[in-house]
Amino acid sequence: MSVTAPAGFEAAGVAAGLKSTGKPDVAVVVNRGPRKVGAAVFTSNRAKANPIIWSQQAVADRIVEAVVLNSGGANCFTGAFGFQTTHQTAEKAAELLGVSAGDVLICSTGLIGTGDEAFRAKVLDGTEQAIAALSVDGGDHAAEAIMTTDTVAKMAVVTHGGWTIGGMAKGAGMLAPGLATMLVVITTDAVLEPLQADEVLRRATGKTFDRLDSDGCMSTNDQVTLLANGASEVVPDLEEFAEALTGLCQELALKLQGDAEGAGHDITIEVQHAVSEQEAVEVGRSVARNNLFKAAIFGNDPNWGRVLAAIGTTSAQFDPYDVDVWMNGVRVCTQGGPDRPREEVDLTARATHLIIDLKVGESTATVLTNDLTHDYVHENSAYAS
């Protein structure tokens, strides 16, 4: 049920013809109240799609009635026509739902730089179809409608203390952080004040989606939205809620990592004993974005020298000649030199766990990435065909 697991939410996903496959491509998620609290975080890419520009304005008052999402077209770099399409989509949804267009967020995903009258007509028609099909059982269909190169729909639900959180996510490529990653809609029937919703969402995304860095490519369309309606009438302990929300976001982030385009390995990079969490993230990300390291993992090669070379490009505090590195439980490097034989490292399984011990502080952070494969290159070279 994903986004319709919490009380007071309805959703739908329909096929409007945006995808040549005939699969669902327009989704709508509606908050039926009683509260209409909304918060969102967006890509920090300066090149922003029209739905991002619209949604950043619409969420400013922290009131959100509905979210309309489409796959099959990013509506990015489509000029004034594209922004008008986004505006008209919000107006269409608002008219049919009896709400203000300024309280409807819009999300799009797909190929950049495409959009015409046929695209607009399909999005508007799909919005109308989806609203007509809204139901408390429509969460699964909505999750399917936002897929592009995804092979599976990503959903998660957490129930705790009388309230529930539900979420759906889309993402298989262009997975790099910038406050948010991919398209994600999260709903809850807990009672949250607007500022609380914004705070817990940013805390959760900062620890989860913001540390998923599969290919170092930041999208123009990334958005994570949290809707809270208070239908459970339960005011949660904010720390307990934040922990549950972070757990749900982490579950979705791991599903996104596991479905990354063409990936053969899911790599968890755990940086230990850094001076600060920020520096631990910087070190982890330097490895996550190192193509030589990622190619080595694809080839099942425990090339720890590439790890040290990557972290040496950062501004983090550490002694390059006093770093330990583990790969799948085997310490291959200690004090900046060789330790156990490389042959002891088994990288044939999909899960790969890399530990980097900087030995300079008490902070830690984990960054998620994938290997660099032939399939990734092929899929992204043929994406528009």
Active site residue ranges:
181
- Give the Cα separation of 41 and 64 in Å (integer): 13
- pLDDT-derived band at 215, boundaries 50, 70, 90: confident
Domain 2-258: which topology? L-amino peptidase D-ALA esterase/amidase (3.60.70)
Rounded Cα–Cα distance for residues 326 and 329 (Å): 6
The predicted-structure confidence for 37-51, as pLDDT tens digits, reads as follows 999 999 989 999 999
Token reading at 256: 């996104």
Per-residue pLDDT at 149: 84
> In whole angstroms, how far apart are CA 6 and each of 31, 36, 215, 331?
10, 14, 33, 45
The pLDDT tens digits for 119-152 are: 999 999 999 999 999 999 999 999 999 998 899 9
How is the chain split into domains, by residue range?
2-258, 266-381
The hierarchical CATH code for the domain 266-381 is 3.10.20.340
Model pLDDT for residues 58-88, shown as the tens digit of each residue: 999 999 999 999 999 999 999 999 999 999 9
* Angstrom distance (rounded) from CA 259 to CA 172: 6
Nearest to 139 by CA among 253, 35, 240, 227: 227
Q: What's the mean per-residue pLDDT of the chain?
A: 94
Q: For residues 249 and 29, what is the distance between their CA atoms, to the nearest angstrom?
A: 18
Sheet arrangement for strand 154-160: 37-42, 223-228, 183-188, 163-170, 154-160
What is the C-alpha to C-alpha distance for residues 272 and 187, in angstroms, rounded to an integer?
Answer: 33
What confidence tens digit (pLDDT) does each residue in 234-246 have? 999 999 999 999 9
Higher pLDDT, 182 or 290: 290
pTM: 0.93
CB-side neighbour CA atoms (13 Å) of 310:
21
